[in-house]
Every structure is written in structure tokens, then in C-alpha cells.
Amino acid sequence: QRSGVVPVPLSTMLTADELGPIVADCGAAALVVSARHSAKVDEVAAVASELRHAVVLGSIAAIGDRAGSGANRSVEVHGWDEFDDRSETAVASTSTDSPAFWLYSSGTTGVPKGGMHVHGSPRATAATYAAEVLQVGPNDRFLSVAKLFFAYGLGNSLTFPFSVGATAVLHPDPPTPPAFLELIAAERPTLFFSSPGFCAALLDTEPDPSIFASIRATATAGESLPGPVQTRFADLTGSPVLDGIGSTELLHIFISNTLAEQTPGSSGRMVPGYEAELRDDAGGSVTAPDTPGYLHVRGPSSAVGYHARPDATAAAFGGDGWVRTGDVYVRSADDTWTFLGRNNDMIKAGGIWVSPAEVESALIEHADVLEVAVIGARNDDGLEEVVAFVVPATGRTPDAAELERHCRDRMAAFKRPRRIIVVDSLPKTATGKIRRFALREQLADPTRIDPADG
């Protein structure tokens, strides 16, 4: 930032095959990685033509000085210690509207989109949600399940604590209930940032309530929080649970429950500084209470668009500052907002967007699979998970465990199907399009699932 570089945080949960197209899309010249992920550099460089440097934090022994990645290109490898000796760094001249960083989110086609944020965006989230809703202060201690490469985690662990001189507790490994119970007991956070799925997982461990004594509030986002889970977690911790909705495009939460008011099953009220409206299929305003509409939001932390995606930018970002979120909501007469669903087939599993097309593409590579359709479905806790319907190739008998292993080698854990169902055929329209809503209906009524179900 000081030197004018525009960083692009990338998920450490992604495989090299998943990272490569993102690095190529943003045109990165340098990749900064920890030693544990350095083995991915060569594979990423093979598809990222502009990548010239890799900076490894810690020892570079794990990667060495490799050359010849991709089409006879080389990636020069550096150790971070090469930069430690630089006592002076030129400071770039920036303004509130200068490019600051990009964050990638998934698209409906499975191709990630780079949301371009400016320097004013993080300040705006700190001045609105952090200050007005959470009422953060210098004595707070922040602990977030979401990592810094997510918009949610970036605010929770960097922007918000830095804005008031508070403490952030970081956890480098994938989040698990046992690890976070230990962290909470040891570090005594006052603010816990979770997801609905992780709250349910913590409840499932039946922990000692005294572990949560330091927490004054829990924030959740990423997917809709079922009312019963919200109530049970509040009872467990003895403090309010503030469910809300945010997006990568708007950088953090813009509708939320508050410290003074929590409505289980609802996303709450507008965060001060933001405004929302519902629109119908024709783009007209939906003003009647309890009437579904497509959610549009306007606020000070909006991205300026997607990198090199003019059509996607035009679809999501209105020229008047409104952002189409892709969510279907209703607004009640008392101005609380409730999530109903999404207007596309994207899945939000564990609070992270998953493209059905991407999962289908991986499964169809298996020799036993003829056709596949992936949908999102609610589990017993009311949380969305990935479900795959598979049609066997002729003469083949797909094994669910084998297909799970196949997925494990090709995609991040949050994208993998939690259920794989083998069927004789997929429901389709006359034009050959898969009728995904029919698959959801089959899951809701198991007696309707094809008898080949595995």
C-alpha cells in the first residue's frame, strides 16, 4: 500500500489449479506465499503469464530457485529477508478514491470476479458497522473464524481492530471447533466473528459455557442464520448473537441485528450509512411490506466494479451507486429484513460461495460419471451444503467414497459435496437444461428420488 502496490489476497484453501486462473486474471507480477504453500508456485505460474517473482515468507528451501515454469518462462524466487533490510520505502501518493486492493468472489459461471476496492472502503466499514453496530473500542479483543482473504475476515481481524487500536487474535490453520474452543479459553476475546455453520458445529460439541465468559457479542455472516441456532448460541455464550448480511462487493455487513435488538431468523436492520431497496423482475421498486424482491444496496464501501468484467460490472453495479446483491429478501413493516433465497444457482456453503458448475466440472472428469448436477440444500441444522446428483456412465457403478476422494484432490474442502446421490437420470427441460428445482424437491421428499440413489 505505501509503495502503491495493489494487493490481491488469495485463499490458502484453494488448490494450485484454482489459484492459477485468479492470478492470471489479475495480471499479478509477484506472488507472496508462506513456505507451507510455496509448492503451488510452479503450477500457478504455468497459467499466469505475467507472473515473474515469488516471495517466500521464511525459508525458500521448500521451493528452491526453479525455472522453466509454463512456456519456458522463469519465476524468480526471493526470500522475505531480502526486503527486511530496506529501511526506507517510497510512499505513494493516494486518495480516498485511489485503488487499494482487490477481493475475488465467485461468479455464476464459476469464473471468479475481482472486486476492485478503493482506500475509502475499509474506513467506511469501520465507521459504520464496527463503530455503530458493534461499538468497538481499544479494550476489545477480536477473534474471527473467517480469514483475512475474505472481506468479512479482513474487517474483523484488520480494519476494525486497527481503527481503534484494539487486539486481533489470528489463527493460521483451517478453523475447527476444538481449536477455537482452545483459542477462546486462552485468549479471552470480547468479540467473536463466526458463521452460522461454525456456530452450529460449536454447539454440537456441547462445550462448557464458562469458556465464552469473555465474549460480549458474536457476529455471524456468510449465510442465513437459522433462528434456533441463533437462540441456542446466545444461550450458550450468555451474550447477543448479531446475524447480518454483507458481501465482497460491499466489503462487510450492511444489514445486521444489533446489541440492543436481535430478531432470530432475521438479518436485522440497515447499518447506519447504508440504504437498501427491493426491486421486482422489471426493475421497479417493491415497497409493500412482506413482499419479496431482489435486494439492492447502496453505501460508502462499495467496490468500483469487477476487473476486466464489463458485463458483470454492469449487471451488479448500477450507475447510481446501487449494488445488486443477488439475494431475495422481504422487508417487514417494522423495517427488519429477512432473507428468502438467491436468484441464481450459486451455493453458499459454510459462508463461502461455491459454483455448481465448478464442482460439476470436477466430478464429470471421473470415468464412472456420465452426467452430474450440483445443488445447494439445507441440512438438519438449516444450513446450506453442497449435494451432487450423479448419473453413471454405461457399465459403471460409481462409488460415493471414491468420488469423494476424486473431489478431494481437485478442490478446496468447502466446495466438496457433502452428499453424492447416484440416480438413473437427471430431470431436464425440453431444451435439455437441468431442472435444479426438481432436484431440490426430490431431496425434500426422499420417496421421489430415483431408485438408483446410492
Span 152-179, mean pLDDT? Answer: 97
- The answer to whether domain 109-342 and domain 347-448 are alike in fold is no
- For residue 72, name the pLDDT band (cuts at 50, 70, 90): very low
pLDDT at 201: 87
pLDDT of residue 69: 44
Residue 229 and residue 199 in contact, taking contact as beta carbons nearer than 8 Å: yes
| Topology (CATH level 3) of domain 109-342 | Rossmann fold (3.40.50)
pLDDT at 423 over 80: yes
Please state the φ and ψ torsions of residue 444, each to the nearest 5 degrees. -70, -25
Query: What DSSP character marks residue 266?
Result: S
pLDDT per residue as tens digits for the range 351-388: 887 888 789 888 988 989 988 999 999 888 889 999 99
Q: Cα angle at 2 between 37 and 100, to 5 degrees?
A: 75
Least confident of 10-14, 26-30, 360-364, 445-449: 445-449
Q: Does position 428 have pLDDT exceeding 90, yes or no?
A: no
Q: The domain 347-448: what is its CATH number?
A: 3.30.300.30
Domain ranges of the chain: 16-84, 109-342, 347-448
Measured distance CA(195)–CA(220) in Å, rounded: 5
pLDDT-derived band at 200, boundaries 50, 70, 90: confident
Q: For residues 442 and 422, is the Cβ–Cβ distance under 8 A?
A: no
pLDDT at residue 45, rounded to an integer: 94
What is d(CA 299, CA 329) in angstroms, rounded to the nearest whole number? 18
Pairwise CA distance, residues 10 & 198, whole Å: 21
